[in-house]
Structure 1
């Protein structure tokens, strides 16, 4: 079947490792490990994430696991004909905790088992939730990774309340655009940073109250910083917080080794540093319900057919997109 997959890994030129074409997924290393009791979903739409680029670079994916179908996010038609959204977190057999993100042996689709950028997907039946009729397949496909990550950062991990001020580091990516929209609709004052005036103004157009050049001193300190950039913005994030404030970090797209750890400021102020990753199935249900209730919809940068996955990945790598890049099923 048609799939977009990592034929190998390439740390320096990840797009060279991407292949788009026919693939017998069941015969791949990951496909051979897929349990027999998983169910099949017919793809309608899938969204790209930086996780896919990391996989092509060999981060979390080894050469002997290739070819590996990429993709974490999907919406489609389940085995009973119902419209579904796929939750991307795969728990280890026997895990039984209330918070599936704390499973030390968890993985995401496309890490050990084939991902979602294929005409048909196999997943645990428990990873399917009902797609609300109010959401298009493309909109629904944006939720399981970036939007779920943002939802958990804000409403589970940050401790903020309506009226508080939050800073979103970076403007334009999937997590950042989700954070802006969710935070504004939750009654928070939302500030963002960006290296681009154009992207900063677009963030204000989405609902941010103000934008500031990356690293610029803010008019006042904030209650929480929502951090996905990492090394490039870490010191600014710590310095931007009120005493007792919280930085919630979900990723390190600029690298994981900041020049300064800022430990003295963290213990003296004292600040909270909170990690956050993905979200639970129940939180994905809550996120979908929030979008239906509020009318919020994911920002979609572009929609391309699965056959044009190479173009979609090139746009993702360039950083030129604003919002999510979506691939749709079909060969045209």
Structure 2
């Protein structure tokens, strides 16, 4: 079968480690099933894997891709939950220990399949299991915010941040967004953000919560944007993880820092139901055939995206 693989790792030139070509079909395994992939979406995790982060050399080559929607062995349209519980010391996600979604077929635990709502296309459904699920869990699972709360989303444009804006606007929050890119700020406003400001600029008011995936470059701004008693919910640190901690402000204003990673299968089920019922849909930057996956990886590496890259099979 045709697949997109991390053949090796290169921190400095991750795209050089990407390989497209034929791979063996999945081998049957008790409790697992094969899904014919119709669409799969790209995440920063895939770029990190090419850099060798979280994917050691002894596991290479590895088919990349966490997120898939397709058709199971019984002919059902399904969404694949990317988190695999296999009795190890911690859960893993597809493409870390087991081959991922950038292939014509993928082998997954039967328990990881959810029905795809007919209201969602395969391309839309494939955006949900990582970035959108992470955003959903951050917004609705990690912190108690009432509709009308004020929030800040750092770094407009990425899959998680775009999902946060969409979901938060739907929930009735006043949403501030930051970006260095004027075009991305305009797109955030088009999605319903209350205001979009250049990265690091002072907000017109302090907010109840900040949603972080950038890390070092925006951390100080995040801490200083909070009301007393406010919270930062953080799911990543794409710019680095060693900023000044701002500890004096954290303890003096009694701020909270909450970590968030992915989300549960139950949260994915409620997210897909929410999208089906409300009409909220993932923002897709571009759809490419799987054999042009390198174009999507290159756009992500250059930061030239607003929303998700989807590969069709």
Q: Say yes or no: TM over 0.5.
A: yes
Tell me if the contact between 1:47 and 1:325 (Cα under 8 Å) persists in the aligned partners: yes
For residues 64 and 120 of structure 2, what CA distance do their matches in structure 1 show?
24
Alignment of 1:240-255 (within 5 A): 240-255=225-240
1:151 maps to 2:145: no
Tell me if the contact between 1:25 and 1:114 (Cα under 8 Å) persists in the aligned partners: no
Matched with 1:289 is: 273
SS in 2 for 1:9: coil
The alpha-carbon deviation at position 35 of structure 1 amounts to 4.2
1:83 maps to 2:77: yes
The alpha-carbon deviation at position 163 of structure 1 amounts to 1.0
Matched with 2:283 is: 299
For residues 12 and 242 of structure 2, what CA distance do their matches in structure 1 show?
19
Matched with 1:239 is: 224
For residues 86-127 of structure 1, the C-alpha deviation after alignment (integer angstroms, 9 at most, x for no partner) is: 00001132x8xxxxxxxx511100000101101000000000
Matched with 1:37 is: 31
4+ residue runs over 2 A deviation: 34-37
1:257 maps to 2:242: yes
Q: Which of 204, 215, 225 is the aligned partner of 2:210?
A: 225
For residues 67 and 228 of structure 1, what CA distance do their matches in structure 2 show?
28
Matched with 2:174 is: 189
Matched with 1:101 is: none
For residues 142 and 236 of structure 2, what CA distance do their matches in structure 1 show?
14
For residues 35 and 233 of structure 1, what CA distance do their matches in structure 2 show?
45
Residue ranges of structure 2 left out of the alignment (5+ in a row)? none
Matched with 1:71 is: 65
SS in 1 for 2:4: strand
Matched with 1:6 is: 6
The alpha-carbon deviation at position 25 of structure 1 amounts to 5.5
Alignment of 1:1-150 (within 5 A): 1-24=1-24, 26=26, 35-93=29-87, 104-150=89-135
Task: Give the length in aligned residue pairs.
Answer: 313
Matched with 1:213 is: 198
TM-score normalised to structure 1 length: 0.92
Tell me if the contact between 1:298 and 1:323 (Cα under 8 Å) persists in the aligned partners: yes
The alpha-carbon deviation at position 37 of structure 1 amounts to 2.9
For residues 241 and 92 of structure 1, what CA distance do their matches in structure 2 show?
39
Tell me if the contact between 1:40 and 1:78 (Cα under 8 Å) persists in the aligned partners: yes
Tell me if the contact between 1:158 and 1:247 (Cα under 8 Å) persists in the aligned partners: no
For residues 25 and 270 of structure 1, what CA distance do their matches in structure 2 show?
54
